[in-house]
Structure 1
Amino acid sequence: MMQRLTHRLKQSIFGRPPSPARKFSHAGILLDSNDKLEEEKLRGYTPEHFYPVNIGDVFRSRYQVVGKLGYGGHSTVWLCRDLQQHAYVTLKMYEHDSSHGRREKEVYKHLGNVKSSHTGSVLVRRAIDDFQISSADNTYSYQCLVHPPLAMSLCELRNRTIEKVLPEDILKPTLIHILLALDFLHTEAKIVHTDIQENNVMLSVEDESILVDFEEAERSSPSPRKIVGDRVIYSSRDLGIPKVHGRPILSDFGEARFSSSLGKQWEDVQPLVYRAPEVLLRMPWNEKIDIWNIGVLAWDLFEQKHLLYARDSNRNISDSHHLAGMIAIMGAPPKEMLQNSEYAMKFFDHDGNWIGTAEIPSISLEKLEGNLRDTQQSLFLCFMRKMLQWKPENRASAKELLADPWLKSI
């Protein structure tokens, strides 16, 4: 009796004791070691630059790896159990000496110091913990970030629909969430995301059974893997479909910039098809590049094909084709804007006439839009044109877009 009371008293004072680490099988299907798998396919991949995470590993005597969720251009991502807090977390393991890892860590530290009641603050991913880990010989170091887990990305959600696009009744609340997050970032956190794409917007986890099922699947049927020397490369495992989808959360701040650090020099940012005109023309930029980004992303989520391709007929990256597409949907850029860009002289003469190698396509937003009719189409295109403007100062802010009639007509 006294022992039980003592045990309960300890639990009430100190909380539950840490969970023991679980055992995981290493008997998964072995793949051909000569075939490149996952992160090995990345351009410039160097094995030593990626920490050799093994399923079952425990980091900081706290985070036990239960399976691989995926990989990106500079990191691998793992589902873990926090043995101290008895909860699932996500571990993002950056490659050696990653500038993206350092930048993202700085952003999360800054966000942790921003005290805000803004609705959008909860729609931005946060870090629970961060730490560094070294290779066995201390030659390489790796930045690690620990997050609350998230479910599928907008890319996965879109690809699960029959038409491979988000229907209007899902697109609108999705955009509202992203714009709320952006309004918080731009006005209170003073951060420019610069990398808003469908893989960087993920749904929160409202149904934790998908995490439990993920771990149990790994324990009962280990992921396929390949072994190269003493290094194991795992195949990623998908999370299941939740019973309830969570809210969109803006994630991945490896390319984010602080507004205070933006000067008069141009810096190359943004995914290729989402580059704003001022980024493409190699001009200084500000937070309004995120607004342009949202406009093109909204179109790509809703329509059957990209708004802008930025490639020539041989699929080579082409600024000329990218600018020609912009001219087709917005008209010629303002002459005074071109005068501020030396790079623009490759594509326009001194009078602002087009001299680029690409032909300006005979398209318009009205001709390209195929999902809406009459008033709803007009409202949608008006919403798009508030973002798709040559001059950054002519683009609406995130807060202004949240009041748009099309967006509010849910």
Structure 2
Amino acid sequence: MIMRRLAQQLKQSIFGRWPSPARKFPQPGTFLDANSKLEEETLKGYLPHHFYPVNIGDMFRSRYQVVGKLGYGSHSTVWLSRDLQQHAYVTLKMYDHESSHARTEKEVYKHIESLKSSHTGFKLVRRAIDDFEIRSPDNAYSYQCLVHPPLGMSLCELRHRAKGKMLPEDLLKPTLIHILLALDFLHTEAGVVHTDIQENNVMLGVEDESILVDFEEAEMSNPSPRKAVDGRVIYASRNLGIPKMHGRPILSDFGEARFSLTLGKRWEDVQPLVYRAPEVILRIPWDEKIDIWNLATLTWNLFEQGSLFKARDSNGKVSDSHHLARMIAIMGPPPKEMLQGSEYAAKFFDSDGNWRSAAEIPCTSLEKLERNLQGTQQSSFLCFMRKMLQWQPENRASAKELLADPWLRSI
């Protein structure tokens, strides 16, 4: 008996702490109407087999135990879990069946991690600490899962909690500095174009782990509402609490990212609808400068009420014509040489570069649209915006140049 105990102590001293025990989660509480769509079921084109049937309490790889559902997206469900071996919380991002986004994101994370960069922005980009593949219970489908350190609320959640649902200037500036540091690293060292910089894809680090503990204990004492359909359980997501201290903004979600060296001269349709850069709309080959345009439109969303550009007509139909008309109102007409490189441009402009579309060019400007600042502060802010809002990508400031902007640095 004594020898066995000594052997166990020796083994523990060599290999570290014993794994945490798995927890037994309580029987489910509220079951919702099985006929009402819930969370991922509301996605366009949803099919049950697209998503792996994760259950709270499930164990993956004999180490990750799911403690609750954090959310869902077009291509994944996201779960807070405990790494029983490392005695730490992690996030499991369970991708849909044979997801191209999963393959892209996994490839990008592995590339970024391999750089071992000392760049400040390296630490402001989300990382994957593990990944694995799992088969469906009937072995018919495979799903990729990425394991991440947990993050807190998104900029979207933070903005909605702010007065007037807008970030104040003194919070906006450091947020932008963090994003720009991440972009400078991606563009100059990693050779990665994010293409999808929106407020849901920038999340705050977790400095106060009590919100993770509280999340787990809330699931134990008050199980999440759920519904059961054909043996599959769909859970309602649970929000993390408000921490005592927010962490730094972290640029996340690389499922739409591209490597700069593979872009070449081809064009791809990328970016969220209202965030699309002119070259994306005009179907011209693009580079990392679409991220800079993207940041400008995100900045406006965070600081002003509403989006800078409207990508739909009066009937709510997607309209490149109305999108371009608004760009002309804000930036003036595009350079003729830019239009000459786009066959698609002939739908909106004549051979001399004159606007010929039926969509009316609105009578507006950045000065008329900006309502939060006055005088020199407004002029400085709009100068910062105009460094990014340029028709031609080469005329947009780089992330490094924007980091030196006087308005941004006047914290």
- TM-score bin, normalised by smaller chain: over 0.9
| Alignment-derived partner of residue 98 in structure 1 | 99
Alignment-derived partner of residue 132 in structure 1: 133
| Aligned counterparts of 1:216 and 1:115: Cα–Cα separation in 2 | 36
The TM-score with structure 1 as length reference comes to 0.98
Q: 1:263 is matched by which residue type in structure 2?
A: G
Partner of residue 194, structure 1:
195
Is 1:221 aligned to 2:222, yes or no? yes
Matched residue, 1:386: 387
CA distance in 1, matches of 2:29, 2:191: 46
Which whole-Å CA distance do the structure 2 matches of 1:357 and 1:79 have between them?
A: 50
1:9 Cα deviation from its structure 2 partner: 3.7
What SS is found at the alignment partner of 1:96?
coil
Query: 1:3 offset after TM fit, Å?
Result: 7.2
Counting only pairs closer than 5 Å after superposition, residues 93-172 of structure 1 correspond to structure 2 as 93-172=94-173
Residue 26 of structure 1 aligns with an amino acid whose one-letter code is Q
| 2:247 corresponds to 1:246 | yes
| Greater alpha carbon shift after TM alignment, 18-27 vs 379-388 | 18-27
Mapped to 2, the partners of 1:77 and 1:345 lie a distance apart of 44
Deviation at 1:72, TM superposition (A): 0.4
What letter matches 2:136 in structure 1?
S
Q: Map of 1:336-375 to 2, 5 A cutoff? A: 336-375=337-376
Tell me the distance in 2 between the aligned counterparts of 1:262 and 1:2.
Answer: 63
Partner SS for 1:326: helix
Deviation at 1:8, TM superposition (A): 4.5
Q: CA deviation at 1:39?
A: 0.1
1:311 to partner: Cα distance: 0.7
Query: Deviations along 1:135-156, whole A, 9 cap, x unmatched?
Result: 1222111010000000000000
Unaligned regions of 5+ residues in structure 1, if any? none
Would you say 1:293 and 2:294 are equivalent positions? yes
1:38 and 2:42 correspond: no
Which residue of structure 1 lines up, in the alignment, with residue 26 of structure 2? Answer: 25
133-142 vs 73-82, which moves further: 133-142
Alignment of 1:320-339 (within 5 A): 320-339=321-340
Residues in 1 aligned to 2:195 and 2:153: alpha-carbon distance in whole angstroms: 21
Q: Which moved more, 1:33-42 or 1:303-312?
A: 303-312
Task: Give the whole-Å Cα distance in 2 for the aligned partners of 1:2 and 1:346.
Answer: 84
For residues 86-115 of structure 1, the C-alpha deviation after alignment (integer angstroms, 9 at most, x for no partner) is: 100000000001010111011011111112
SS in structure 2 of the partner of residue 163 of structure 1: helix
Q: Quote the offset at 1:330 in angstroms.
A: 0.2
One-letter amino acid of the structure 2 residue matched with residue 106 of structure 1:
E
Q: CA deviation at 1:213?
A: 0.2
CA distance in 2, matches of 1:132, 1:238: 27
SS of 1:203 mapped into structure 2: strand
Q: TM-score, normalised by structure 2?
A: 0.98
Structure 2 residue runs of 5 or longer lacking an equivalent are none
User: Match of 2:99, as an amino acid?
Assistant: S
Which letter does structure 1 place at the counterpart of 2:122? S
Instruction: For residues 38-69 of structure 1, give each alpha carbon's deviation from its aligned partner in whole angstroms, at most 9, with x where no partner exists.
Output: 00000110101110000000000010000000
Letter of the 1:401 partner, please give it: L
Q: Which amino acid is 1:245 matched to?
A: H
Residue matched to 1:316? 317
Q: Which amino acid aligns with 2:401?
A: E
| 1:61 and 2:93 aligned | no
Shift of 1:236: 0.1
Q: CA deviation at 1:247?
A: 0.2
SS of 1:243's partner is coil
Distance 1:51 1:153 in 2: 24
In structure 1, the partner of 2:279 is 278
Match of 2:183 in 1: 182
Alpha-carbon offset, residue 6 of structure 1: 5.4
Correspondence for 1:81: 82
Q: Distance in 1 between matches of 2:49 and 2:42?
A: 14
Superposition CA RMSD, Å: 1.1
Deviation at 1:5, TM superposition (A): 6.1
Deviation of the 1:10 alpha carbon: 3.2
SS at match of 1:309: coil
Q: Size of the alignment, in residue pairs?
A: 410
Range with greater deviation from structure 2 (136-145 or 336-345) = 136-145
Amino acid of the residue matched to residue 286 of structure 1?
D
Task: Report Cα offsets for 1:143-202 as digits up to 9, x if no partner.
Answer: 100000000000000000121000000000000000000000000000000000000000
Give, in whole Å, the separation in 1 of the partners of 2:24 and 2:218.
13
1:28 positional shift? 1.9
- Match for 1:354: what amino acid? W
Q: Separation in 2 of the partners of 1:5 and 1:247?
A: 45
Structure 2 distance, partners of 1:355, 1:26, is 64
Partners of 1:2 and 1:205 in 2: CA distance: 43
Moved more, 73-82 or 137-146: 137-146
Residue 164 of structure 2: SS of its match in structure 1? coil
Secondary structure at the aligned position of 2:163 is classed as: coil
How far the C-alpha of 1:7 sits from its partner, in A, is 5.0
Q: 2: CA distance between counterparts of 1:122 and 1:60?
A: 27
Q: State how far apart, in whole Å, the 2-side matches of 1:112 and 1:39 are.
A: 30
Q: Which residue of 1 aligns with 2:14?
A: 13
Q: Deviations over 1:203-229 (max 9, x none)?
A: 000000000000000010000000001
Instruction: Provide, for residues 239-277 of structure 1, a one-character-per-residue CA deviation record: whole Å limited to 9, x for no partner.
Output: 000000000000000000000110211100000000000
Q: What residue identity is the alignment partner of 1:352?
A: G
